[in-house]
Structure 1
Amino acid sequence: MGDSQQDRGKGQYIQWSPQESKTLINLLLDGVAQGWRDVNGVFSKFTVERRILPALNQTQGFSSGFGWDPNTKRFTASNEVWDNYFMVNFIMH
């Protein structure tokens, strides 16, 4: 996942580096130790989106570039991010 989003086309798989995998495993272990799992022992989507992915993005330096504006209830991104998104998802097909 260390490669940029621009290098990926739809359906392509890029294997995580050992460091990225190690970081994710450590974050999950920290989550278990902190009691972030539900009664069934599963991490909820909310926990993954709010606690694990932000930490993973921060430590590994990757992100989709999209954000969320809670006031307008819309996705936010720079023009470059939108241009890349449209090129990969619509023009290249």
Structure 2
Amino acid sequence: MHHVVLTPKMSGRFYFIFGEPIETKRREKELRDKEKAQHIYLHVKSEVESCIKYLKRRGEDPYRSTLSSLLYQAAHGSDAEIPTFEP
């Protein structure tokens, strides 16, 4: 019989992004036209995919884990702001 060992996972940084707003008010005619609606759909899809692609790259953030963030602050002082992730 094996004992199950549970180790709490410390969360690191949380990543989120707000894409460019896509206005649909006053575009009712365009949304009723299948061809124009498809164009709007593809634009929205492209925007969402680019946001997801950006967020997936968060693994490249050198300060993603809590430990690396704490080490940075220990080396640079507790008031030091940890650099922002920019892919």
| TM-score between the two structures when normalised by the length of structure 2 | 0.25
| TM-score between the two structures when normalised by the length of structure 1 | 0.24
Higher strand fraction (1 or 2): 1
